[in-house]
Homo-oligomer: A and B are copies of this chain.
């Protein structure tokens, strides 16, 4: 049975959406047991055609994930090893979610403070924060977040681009569910190709455009696309009335 035998995670699969609740008292410390389960989870999801979207939340209203276990960090070598040429365990675990052909959504509720406290304890963000944050919020704000080591409330985090959206408590759940199920209704090939193409925005523009063109050609060639494109026309796509609000039509396409 899939997704069985996890002790730090509660997992439920429903219509293409895997709901993963982190439940590792008392503070969802990112310790070895939790890391091993997140690693195993990533490997399972990566190979599971029934999952298009993963939604992470926390069973603990005070903590989403506290931080990495400092005892583990203290066990790392006191002399730095040479620079590696492939990702080691921790990076590989988190980057698998970035590169897999499925989407992850973090639903952060409760005490919604975000921060990068690493520099305050003498280290640096080592879970990809120094790479993700400058790309999300620009270098100047990333420097403030990473070097300032201060808490960011949700509304400021949204303005900085740290998170996509800061929503009122009663809107967060419905928003995430609606988005997750909506995406899960789309063609898995289109999701995979769109995500792969977006990740080519790392490249110089001209190279990225050539990648996009190829991913577009691959998407157009799928059976899912041809079926949906034809249905789109049959259902009145490209007429004035239907185009005024494409959402109902999009919902019908996913049926």
A74 to chain B: which residues have CB within 8 Å? 226, 229-230
- A126-B212, A190-B124, A194-B119 as given contacts; A70 in contact with B238, CB under 8 Å: yes
Instruction: State whether the Cβ of A139 lies closer than 8 Å to any Cβ in chain B.
Output: yes
The answer to whether A122 touches B246, judged by C-beta atoms less than 8 angstroms apart, is no
Q: Are A130 and B197 in contact (CB under 8 A)?
A: yes
Q: How many identical chains are in the complex?
A: 3
Chain B residues with Cβ below 8 Å from A136 are 138-140
Q: Please, what's the 1-or-0 string for A221-250, where 1 marks a CB less than 8 Å from any CB in chain B?
A: 110111111101100011110011011001
Is residue A213 within 8 Å, beta carbon to beta carbon, of the partner chain? yes
Return A212 CB to nearest CB of chain B, in Å. Answer: 5
Chain A residues touching B, range: 35 or more
Nearest CB of chain B from residue A226's CB, rounded to whole Å = 7
Known contacts A80-B214, A124-B194, A146-B194; 19 additional CB pairs below 8 A are A26-B240, A66-B238, A74-B230, A76-B217, A88-B213, A103-B147, A115-B246, A119-B191, A121-B229, A122-B186, A122-B225, A124-B190, A125-B194, A126-B216, A131-B205, A143-B198, A146-B198, A150-B247, A203-B204
